[in-house]
Every structure is written in structure tokens, then in C-alpha cells.
């Protein structure tokens, strides 16, 4: 499973308003509620699951990337949302640099291998400098989605 399998155009947020990781996570979970990927009644429980995971260790992996994720029984398939911040988000990243691309994803319980495989694929793709640059320079969500589809096939 790769990024293009998880994301639809409506789950790409080209202008995150967040200034820190908690706001970014909340904004992206809000997107998943708005797009029907998470039930509104489950929002706070999903936020709690992601916060619990994020509190154990920041998912700011360097290179301007944040990969907040969690397993929750409130979903039935892997879901995610991608946000881009032009100014950068304080994420407590490993390299202490602001995060410009935040990829939130959620995995149903009992799918540990899928969770690891998905995380590895997303991280591998986002570590490509030309892919990150394409996402950062894309004028809108449609162009970001096109880059995701193109680079996901390489």
C-alpha cells in the first residue's frame, strides 16, 4: 500500500494553518471527519490515539516531514490526510527543523504488518528530495495529488 492508495484529492490540504504538531494533527483529523473517513462522534477518540502515539516519540522524521500515525478500531481501512505548511510547523522533529509536509495515517487494529509496510513506503517516498520539492512547489491540491500519483509509480 502506498500514498496514492491512501489519499484522494479531498484528503490533501495544501495550506495547513497549524503552527505546531498538535494543531496539525487536529487539522488533518478534521479533514478526515469532513471527508467522511472518520465519523464525527469518533473524532476525539482518534485524536487521543494519535496524541498517545505522538507523545511516546515525535514522528517528525527530519527533512521537513512529519508522519503522525496510530492504530484505532474506529476505522475499517487505512486512511490518511496530507497537509502542507508553507511556513513550517514546530513538530519536535529529530533534526529540530520545521515540518512542511505532514502525512497523518490511521490503521485498523490487528494489521501491524500493513501498518509497518505503509509507514515504510510513505517514509521512503517522502525521503526523495525531488518528490518533496514537487509537493512543496505544487500550486494546489490537484497538483500535489498528481505528484503523488506520478512518484508513487517510480
pLDDT digits (tens, 9 = 90+) for 87-134: 999 999 889 999 999 999 998 888 767 767 877 888 888 889 999 999
Q: Is the pLDDT of residue 9 over 80?
A: yes
Q: What does the pLDDT read at residue 154?
A: 61
- pLDDT-derived band at 2 (thresholds 50, 70, 90) equals confident
Q: Which domains does the chain have, with CATH numbers?
A: 3-152 (3.40.930.10)
Report the candidate in 70, 123, 68 with the shortest Cα–Cα distance to residue 92. Answer: 68
CA–CA separation, 8 vs 3, rounded Å? 9
- The confidence score (pLDDT) of residue 19 equals 93
pLDDT tens, residue by residue, 53-85:
999 988 899 999 999 999 899 998 889 999 999
What interhelical angle do 129-137 and 112-126 show, nearest 10? 80
Q: What is the pTM of this model?
A: 0.92
Residue numbers annotated as active site? 69
Structural element, H or E, at residue 123 = helix 112-126
Confidence grade of residue 3 (pLDDT, cut at 50, 70, 90): confident
Q: What are phi and psi for residue 60, nearest 5 degrees?
A: -75, 105
Amino acid at each position: 500500500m502506498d500514498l496514492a492508495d491512501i489519499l484522494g484529492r479531498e484528503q490533501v490540504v495544501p495550506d495547513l494553518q497549524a503552527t505546531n504538531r498538535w494543531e496539525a494533527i487536529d487539522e488533518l483529523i478534521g479533514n478526515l471527519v469532513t471527508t467522511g473517513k472518520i465519523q464525527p462522534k469518533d473524532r476525539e477518540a482518534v485524536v487521543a490515539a494519535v496524541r498517545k502515539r505522538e507523545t511516546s516519540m515525535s514522528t517528525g522524521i527530519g527533512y521537513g516531514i512529519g508522519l503522525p500515525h496510530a492504530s484505532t478500531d474506529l476505522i475499517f481501512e487505512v486512511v490518511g490526510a496530507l497537509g502542507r505548511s508553507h511556513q513550517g510547523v514546530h513538530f519536535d522533529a529529530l533534526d529540530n527543523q520545521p515540518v512542511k509536509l505532514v502525512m497523518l495515517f490511521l490503521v485498523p487494529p490487528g494489521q501491524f504488518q500493513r501498518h509497518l509496510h505503509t509507514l515504510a513506503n510513505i517514509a521512503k517516498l517522502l525521503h526523495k528530495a525531488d518528490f518533496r520539492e514537487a509537493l512543496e512547489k505544487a500550486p494546489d491540491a490537484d497538483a500535489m495529488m498528481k505528484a503523488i500519483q506520478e512518484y508513487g509509480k517510480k
